[in-house]
Chains A and B, each alone.
Chain A
């Protein structure tokens, strides 16, 4: 029998760990949802086994009788009793599941954390703008495609969209929530375990829906604070001549029209903020891991790597291109 084998494989997976799976919860919300999953798996599995057992029994029982003249419809009290018991079982099963689901749902809705960390995540085709809105305005800062969260503290994430509908989903931490133009959604996330998790857009949003990921880094409070202080700094001034030339190119060519690098003339608001790009784990919304080579590839051929992306092919000479790479990779 293949079926139990597959079921066993599925069960085995529950023990697996991963950076993008609801089966390995690292947040309060994901953990309480995981309890429903476990309950569901057992209850539904039980019913499935019952159905298959009944089917096998029915087939086995009649293995030697086949065909013949049709029987008349019979009134079978045993069958009626069976149907009544079966319906009652389904009813009880559903009631248990619906009640459990209701209470988990309530618990997800009622995180009234007083000193939650405030974030605003805005979805764009095809990247995530992340704004930390803690304390007075000068203490706000912006990054892209990465979220750092202190472990054990609830983060209240406001979700908005800059163009079409996206969906914010970091399965290890919590369920998904849509980002809808003209609407304002809020998702509470309470990470409980230090680690790096991956999230991905979960609502079809156009060509590059597949390449719209983000990284969530859950870290101890102290490290988070240090990261935040660093993010508040403007970009470091380029030290090498190569990087300095890169900065010039960046500002004089098309780059600065869309990208911001705090502390420089580049102030475009339509594309990811690159102030500390070199400190991020990935580029192009999780398309590639951060490295000099990846940056060079991305700058020279964005439409080859992520066709349809809003990043244009900017005609740069090899020197210009490598200077820009040197500059960007100095932006720790």
Chain B
């Protein structure tokens, strides 16, 4: 009778092996503290004029943060904690520009967004360098990227709060024309 189970066991092992081959899922990794290399290439963040500015070299940390649902979700929490909502209103825009559309005055790559948060921008965007830790800024940038539809949301739907804007999954941000580039339309208020 044990022979009757053999096919079952074989099928089971096969499935497990196949699944293991799929490999680890970066997206679900949760490393606390230093998940990214401490020192990456220094981010050049001096472009104070609207527009993509100088090409910012890609930073390996960007990808790590962007790909992790846990970091994106933490970024969302910080977005509220640091009252980014106050100006950007859940990404919908208000005093500050909207983050769910395809307008990126200072570039939409994660390195550029990191730079924007860290250094601040004219007309109201404060600098968070020193105020927030490096990791927090990366998380914020990763979250902003997910708001913009460049990367998946941490979870696809809503937050546990009053719905002030359409749920994120209902807003389909137009696909940005070119990764890292920005379509500069309109002027700063």
Contacts and interface: CB of A to CB of B under 8 A. Distances in A.
B33 A313 contact: yes
Interface residues of B, number: 15
A315 B134 contact: yes
A310 B82 CA distance: 13
A257 B132 contact: yes
A254 B34 contact: no
Given A257-B82, A307-B33, A315 B133 contact: yes
Interface string B157-169: 0001000000000
B135 interface: yes
A181 interface: yes
B133 A252 contact: no
B131 A257 contact: yes
B133 A312 contact: yes
A260 to B, nearest CB: 13
Contacts of A303: 32-34
A254 B32 contact: no
Nearest to A307: B32
B32 to A, nearest CB: 4
Residue in A252, A257, A301 with the greatest tally of chain B CB atoms within 10 Å: A257
B109 to A, nearest CB: 24
A313 B135 contact: yes
Interface string B31-48: 011100000000000000
Given A310-B77, A313-B34, A315-B134, 17 more contacts: A181-B160, A253-B130, A253-B131, A254-B136, A257-B81, A257-B131, A268-B81, A301-B33, A303-B33, A304-B33, A307-B32, A307-B33, A308-B32, A309-B32, A312-B135, A313-B33, A313-B133
Interface of B: 30, 32-34, 77, 81-82, 130-136, 160
